[in-house]
Structures are given as C-alpha cells and as structure tokens.
Structure 1
Amino acid sequence: MNETPSSPGFQPLDREGLVQTVAKMLSKAIVTGQLAPGARLSESVVARELGVSRAPVREAARLLESSGLVTYEPNRGFFVRQVSAKAIADLYEFRIVIELAAVKRLIRTWNDDIHAALSAQLAEINRVATDDFDMLTQVEADLQFHRLLCSGSGNPKFLTVFDQIATETEFSIMVIGRLYDDPDRLAKTHEPVLEALCSGDETQAVDAMQYHIGEAQRLVTEQFRILEEGKTPQ
C-alpha cells in the first residue's frame, strides 16, 4: 500500500485522529444545514468525497449518534436526526439539571481566574452580537460561556456531559434559524448570571441560571412547535 506523504509541519493522522476529523466535518455540515434533518448519511459518498475508507466514516457516524446529531436505522444506515419540540424540551430540561448542579459547585470554587474567564467570554458574546457575525459564531460563543461554567465547577463530569449535549443544542438552535430576534438580546441574557455568581449567593445564582436556561427552553421549544405545524417561525 502506498503511504500518503505528510505535509511539512504536520503529523500523519492516526486512526482515532482521522475519525475525529471526519466527525467534526460531518458535525459542521449538519449544524450549518448542509446536511438537512432527515437526510441519509451515505458512508460510501462521504468516504469518496473525503478520500478515506468507509470504516472511519462509520465510526464518525457512531460518534455523531452518541452526540444526538444522527440516528441509525437497521438495514438503512445513518440519517441526520429529525428534531422534535418534545426532544428539545427534554434536552433543555437535562441542561438545567446539569448546569444548576455546576453552578452550586461554582459558587464554592469561585476565584479571580474563573471570574476573568467568564467576563472575557461575556465580552466575546457581546462582540459577536451584531449582524457582522453569523448565527453559528454567536451560538458557539454562547455555549462556550456555559462550558466555562461547567469547567470552573471543578467536577470534570459536568464538563464531559455538557460537551456531549452541546452540539445537539447548537444543532437545535441552527435548525430554527435564531433564538432571539435581536442577537444583542442573547448577549444581555448572560449578564444576570454572571452578576449572580459574583454575588456569592448560591440561591441567587441558581435562580438566575434556571431562568436563563428555562427561557431559552421556552423559546426554542415554541419555535419547533411552529415548525411542526408547518408554519414559519416567528
């Protein structure tokens, strides 16, 4: 078998690295709508277009299945997941459980480094909250704020679980096309959360986070119900 020469400055991808690379490419195609909900994920087509064998594509699809982006149907293959209002409501309900638990720990582990990281990310959310940036960039900035919350809690399990559902959250928002009419509103909704954390009051912080995610749950679920009724999202 002929070996593919590596590019200067790059290391050849091992099997795991190749699978992760394919998974990231497919994930981006799904989240951005290049692969629409319900579309079949043809292993042979993807493998041919990427210039790889079918095996890493199949393994990548399994990873996307575990992250909630695709489903597998016996004897038919992988399909981009069809998202429902109920599934989204369930997803956000799970996020509330995980992130409220993370916030309770975060209050106890709070320090200047965590404060600086969250403040910087809030500034980034505000920076991209304009029409000059696409929605994916804005959603990624939003989710990074929540990722930092889980990371700062000191319990790595919170971060692991959050990362497993973050892509599914991103996908659900991208399907409806927006969360708020004004992207600046997305940025502003994070400010009470950071203020509550800075107060050091656990009850205040939990209430702020519960309202923040609960309001997102209401808005996203409402938009999906509109889509299910065949109407144009408001």
Structure 2
Amino acid sequence: MTSDNGKPGFERLAREGLVERVAALLSNAIVTGKLAPGARLSESVVARDLGVSRAPVREAARLLESSGLVAYVPNRGFFVRQVSADAIDDLYELRLVIETAAVRRLIRGDTGPVIANLSRQVDELYRIADLGPDFDMLTQVQADIQFHRLLVAASGNPKLLAVFEQIATETEFSIMIVGQLYDDPHRIAETHLPIIDALRDGDEMRAVEALRFHIVVAQRVVTQKLRQLEKEQST
C-alpha cells in the first residue's frame, strides 16, 4: 500500500459502502503507523489513490474524527491526532466506567452464552501469543479489544456498546503508538481468565475487581510509556 513517491497509497475501491470502507482503510493505516501522528490526511491524494471522489473521503475523515483518530484544523483539513498521555489516561478511565457497568448488568442475567464466547476469545489470544516469529502485535491488540467488545455487547445495553465502539480503535492506536504490548502476550491472555471465572461463579464484586485489574495494568503501562516519549521529544 505504498505509492511511487514512497507515501502511503491505497488500492481503488468499488462503489458499495464507500464511506465505511474508506474509513476502515484509513483507520488501519493510522493504527499501524503508515500514517503517523501529525500527518495531514489529504482528501485529494486519498481520493485519487482509491479512485473515488473527495466526498466519501471527507465523510470517512469525519467518522475517524468521532473515533478520536484524526482532528480537524479549520482552513487546513484533517490531521492524524497527536496522542497525549493525559488523553489516553482519560480514555482508559472511560473504559473502566463502560465495562464495569456492562459487567454489573451482565452478571445479573444469563452468563452462559457469553462465557463460552469469552473463553473462545481467550483461546484465540493464547493462539496468537504462541505464534513466535509470526507474532503480530496489532492482531493481539485487536483480539484483546474483541474480548471486551463481546463483554460489553452481552450486557444488552446498546448505548454502552456504541460508546465502546467509539473508543475501541483509539485504544488500539494508543497501544500501537507506544510500540509495545503492555505485558507479555501470554500474560495478557491469562489476565482475562479471572474475569471469566468470576462471571461463571456469579460473583459481581470479584468480576469487577478482575476487570479493573486488567484495565488498570494496561492504563498504567501505556500512559507511563507515553509520558516517557513526551519527555524525550520535549528534550
């Protein structure tokens, strides 16, 4: 996905679902670092590469703005967001609120179906961790986010899920910017198990504490690493 001039290029798209597909392509380019923080998102260049008009590119950029990946600067256009440690700290705090509320709702209903789904997702996390030289950090991060997406979706509250989806990609972005996982891949998989065990036992307090531990560990490591990067850049 690189053009002749060395800049990120994109393959041409068919007409169906253009805005969503453009948004997905740009999102992937941002999260994987092909479009770096601070880079200008040129509507004309992207539109030319994809073989579409500028309108769907502009709409896709608006979607990415709502998900926290790009920012609009008046009279200049869209730019990939510069991530700050304080913003990511706030992001994880919001995740705690959303997912804690989801767990409390979930545990008061039938947890059987979601426990099976969550267990399969942990198996997927272990499978990815076992890939060795073929291990891909983004795949692991997305699999981790999918576990939490399943958890929130099973709460039965579409508003919680809608907010979660707004910040899911931004969470992936923050971890990829740091350039390392917040823990050993096998350890990340393992820290999901206490959440499942507590849900299986119907223990709301233990489930919330297990979830809190899992998220706070990531929050602490990611924000500390970002603060270190910010300090290095400032000097």
CA displacement 1:183-234 (0-9 Å, x = unmatched): 1121111111111211201111111111111111111101101110117xxx
Superposed CA RMSD? 1.2
Which AA in structure 2 matches 1:189?
T
Which AA in structure 2 matches 1:139?
V
Residues 207-222 of structure 1 mapped to structure 2, 5 A cutoff? 207-222=209-224
Residues 85-234 of structure 1 mapped to structure 2, 5 A cutoff? 85-130=85-130, 131=132, 132-230=134-232
- Secondary structure at the counterpart of residue 82 of structure 2: coil
Q: Check conservation: 2:128, 2:140, Cα contact below 8 A.
A: yes
Q: Check conservation: 1:109, 1:154, Cα contact below 8 A.
A: no
Which AA in structure 1 matches 2:160?
F
TM (norm. structure 2) is: 0.90
- Secondary structure at the counterpart of residue 37 of structure 2: coil
Q: Check conservation: 1:43, 1:58, Cα contact below 8 A.
A: yes
Q: Check conservation: 2:111, 2:200, Cα contact below 8 A.
A: no
Instruction: Give percent identity, aligned residues only.
Output: 68
Q: Check conservation: 2:69, 2:80, Cα contact below 8 A.
A: yes
Report the equivalent of 1:23: 23
- Secondary structure at the counterpart of residue 49 of structure 2: helix
Report the equivalent of 1:7: none
Q: Check conservation: 1:31, 1:174, Cα contact below 8 A.
A: yes
Q: Check conservation: 1:109, 1:152, Cα contact below 8 A.
A: no
CA displacement 1:161-193 (0-9 Å, x = unmatched): 111100000000011112235211211111111
Compute the displacement of 1:13 (Å).
3.5
What runs of 5+ residues in structure 1 fail to find an aligned partner?
Answer: 1-11
Which AA in structure 2 matches 1:137?
T
- Secondary structure at the counterpart of residue 72 of structure 2: strand
CA displacement 1:126-180 (0-9 Å, x = unmatched): 1101332200100011000000000111111111111110000000001111223
Report the equivalent of 2:37: 37
Which AA in structure 1 matches 2:215?
I
Structure 1 runs of 4+ off > 6 angstroms?
A: none
